[in-house]
Chain A
Amino acid sequence: MASFKRRIIQVTSTIIGNGYFEGFAKGTIYRGKLKSVCFPGLNCYSCPGAYTSCPIGSLQSVAAGLKYQISLYVIGFLMLIGTIWGRLICGWICPFGFFQELLYKIPSKKLKMPKTLNTLKYFFLVVFVLLLPALSTNEVGIGLPLFCKYICPAGTLEAGIPLTIKNVALRGAIGIMYYWKLMLLAITIVFSILISRPFCRAVCPLGAIYSLFNSVSFYRMNVDGTKCTKCNICNKICPVDIKIYENANSPECVRCGKCVDKCPTKAIKSGYINEKKGRLNHEKILDVGCGADNCN
Chain B
Amino acid sequence: MKDRLKYVLLIMSLVLTIAGIYRGEVAEVLQKAINICLECIGIG
Contact = CB atoms under 8 A, between A and B. Distances in A.
B29 to A, nearest CB: 5
B37 A38 contact: no
Taking residues whose C-beta sits less than 8 angstroms from the other chain, chain B's interface range is 35 or more
A164 B41 CA distance: 9
A1 interface: no
B44 A149 contact: yes
Contact of A170 (B17, B24, B36): B36
A71 B37 contact: no
Interface string B16-31: 1111110111111110
B23 to A, nearest CB: 7
Given A62-B25, A79-B12, A145-B39, A33 B32 contact: no
Taking residues whose C-beta sits less than 8 angstroms from the other chain, chain A's interface range is 35 or more
Given A73-B29, A178-B42, A213-B9, A57 B37 contact: yes
A68 B21 CA distance: 13
Given A72-B19, A79-B16, A276 B3 contact: yes
B30 A36 contact: yes
Interface of B: 2-3, 5-6, 9-10, 12-21, 23-30, 32-34, 36-44
10 contacts: A31-B34, A36-B30, A52-B33, A75-B16, A76-B16, A80-B14, A146-B39, A149-B42, A159-B37, A216-B2
